[in-house]
Amino acid sequence: MFTGELGRSVFGATVFTFVFALGVPWIGSTIFYILGLNYGCCTSTIAFFATCFLALLIFAVFPRGRLNPKDKAVLITGCDSGFGPLLAKQLHALGMHVFAGCLLKDKGGEGAKHLMKIQSSRFHVLQLDVTNDSEIKMAVQYIGMHIPPNQDGLWGIVNNAGASAFGEIEWSSIDLYKKVAEVNLWGVIRCTQACLPLIRRAKGRVVNMASGFGRMIAGSRSVYGITKWAVEGFSDCLRYEMRRWGVKVSIIEPGNYIAGTSIFTEDGVKKLGDSMWEKMPDNVKEDYGKKLFDLRVAEMQTYCSKGMDDLRPVLNAYEDALLSRIPLIRYQPMEAYWTIRSFVFTHFPSFI
């Protein structure tokens, strides 16, 4: 549930333990008392489940063993910007063979050019558009020819490439839904399927980037959110299927890292907003009005400078998922507010 960073995990454990071991039993006992029922059973029952919950949190915090990263090979998609290039350099520094997939390598993208300056036989920058079957095929063939001879196969794939968008459902065209899903969902499936034969040989890891919005959702984020819910389902199914092969599958569910990754910029939000308004049906424009639309765009622009700018919690979650002897199924590198909100959305009645 947590990234393994002790401070935030202990804080979360303390908050949840206080709420569930003290607050909820007190409320439950009060209700039982009013109803004239045996409220001692309520306290004992909830305290038991709170203890179990705390045990799970402790499991996420304490060390779970670590594998030797030396010469293990990993493919990382989406290395043009954001988490990708930082993770590629972090894993390379550990002694791993890194295949960094970049969308814009062949077009002289700045991210790819920066990574290509790393002079190492263990670092490879690949042209990789996760929506392009032929590029995926060529990348996997290249990886197969460059896996270290002392390794059985590809140790891991990190499906990090992603796209985002915003806009209420009636404002968003089907083409926009398809464009984002092509990267966030079908790209994950394409790359995973292509790499699985190599990963199964190594009994390795699949690490998929989902989102906090894969466990909860907010208005105006359906285009992005549905792809992350789908990645969650795909990853869970893959985890069940890969058990027989010794392959472990983990999901990363970050909080808000817009400020740190610049996945949204004010200019980008404005450009998407202009395109959205232009393609919107006239009756929808009339019903919502330009004033409300502009207000939503302006709100989204304010988010461009918000969120966490320290990307280390996500990078460390990726690393733990690849190299822990007992990786977590889900990692939530997010602020405490979003962790609590995610728990409430996941476990409490839907009307909340």
Active site (catalytic) residues: 224
Give the type of residue at 162: G
Helices within the chain (DSSP H only):
6-18, 24-34, 39-61, 83-93, 110-116, 133-146, 174-184, 186-202, 222-242, 258-261, 266-279, 282-288, 290-302, 312-323, 336-347
Contact criterion met (CB below 8 Å) for 278 and 97: no
Q: How far is CA 65 from CA 25, 52, 242, 316, 327, in A?
A: 36, 22, 21, 15, 9
- Burial class from Cβ neighbours inside 10 Å (0-12, 13-18, 19+) for residue 71 reads middle
Residues 6 or more apart whose CB falls under 8 angstroms from that of 272 comprise 165, 166, 167
